[in-house]
Structure 1
Amino acid sequence: MSRNDDLLEIEQLLAKYAVTMTRADTAGVVSVFTPDGSYSAFGEIYPLDQFPRLVEAAPKGLFLTGTALIDLDGDTATGTQPLCFIDHTQQDMRIGYYNDTYVRTTDGWRLKTRAMTFIRRNGEHNSGRPHAISFSSE
Structure 2
Amino acid sequence: MSTDDLMEIQQLLARYAVQMTRGDIDGVIAVFTPDGSYSAFGDSYGLDEFPALVAAAPKGLFLTGTPVVELSGDSATGTQPLCFVDHASHDLRIGYYNDTYLRTAEGWRLRTRAMTFIRRSGAHDSGRPHAYQRPDA
Give the structure-1-normalised TM-score: 0.96
Q: Secondary structure at the match of 2:134?
A: coil
Can you give the 5+ residue segments of structure 1 that lack an aligned partner in the other structure? none
Aligned to 2:111: 112
Aligned to 2:64: 65
Q: How does 1:1-138 map to 2 (within 5 A)?
A: 3-138=2-137
Residue 109 of structure 1, CA deviation: 0.2
Q: Deviations over 1:38-70 (max 9, x none)?
A: 000010100111011111111100000000000
Give distance in 2, aligned partners of 1:18 and 1:84. 11
Q: CA RMSD in A?
A: 1.0
- Provide the aligned length of Structure 1 versus Structure 2: 137
Residue 136 of structure 1, CA deviation: 4.7
Percent sequence identity over aligned pairs: 69
- Answer whether contact 2:41 2:131 (CA < 8 A) is retained: no
Can you give the 5+ residue segments of structure 2 that lack an aligned partner in the other structure? none
Give the ranges of 4+ consecutive aligned residues of structure 1 lying more than 2 Å apart after TM superposition.
Answer: 131-136
Corresponding letter in the other structure for 2:15: K
Give distance in 1, aligned partners of 2:60 and 2:77. 26
